[in-house]
Structure 1
Amino acid sequence: MVENFGEYLRTLRIEKRLSLREVEQQSGVSNSYLGLIERGQRPIPGADILKKLAPVYDVPVRDLLKAAGYLKDEDISISENDEIEMAFNYVMNDPRYKSGTRIKGGLTTDVKRFIVEMYEKATGKKLLPGG
């Protein structure tokens, strides 16, 4: 867990050269709320908000969850399905891929894995462990 999570988010934003308004446009999270978090005037946001911010800040969801204290150590056992689900949510929240066809209804874990693997090939990012 990062000692000052708001400052950590601010550092990520500045490294990406983004304004609070740009983060809001890309994530859907209010810029005023983000500013309050960065200044330490609001508590650490929930996992749902962090999942929206991760692709904007170009960091894996798992890293934000760990920095926020939601994941304690690397030795925490996360099932393969949970890893795939987190990676899939990361892909689906990436602002670069917000437009396009969206499938209604549930997808199988294998389909989600395939989508994540295609994203990894297209972006060069490694979202799933191994391989």
Structure 2
Amino acid sequence: MQIGRRIYYEKKTGNVFVDTGERSGSVRETTIEEDFTTYVPLAERVPETVGHIQLEYGQYAQDFAECNGVRVNPETLALEFSYPNPNEPKELPIFRKPLSVELEEAKKAALDAQEAVLEVYEMLLGMQTT
């Protein structure tokens, strides 16, 4: 069995304060109520002020491995990551959508651009043969 991480965050600010991590093997999925009794930072909070996101096993694995911070955007409820800048190690974190998502979007944009160029090229070739 494989269980994805569950992220608990403060609804007002989006600050993450519990990341259950991923689990596999002889494990069982816990309920939110169980988590509130198991994790001290959750037990200390009023449940109505806490949000959570359940991820699939392996979802954003590379982003979690490379980031130096994670939060939930309180407006969009999407995860945002900050990544270390090797040239400025003391730089304040800048949160953005996961790099894995940005990479997929860039790949799609590049393919769309290639298709558009190909269409123009084919159109120009058609004009030359007529």
TM over 0.5: no
Higher strand share: 2
Greater CA radius of gyration, 1 or 2?
Answer: 2
Q: TM-score range by the shorter chain?
A: under 0.3
TM-score (norm 1): 0.25
TM-score (norm 2): 0.25
Higher helix share: 1
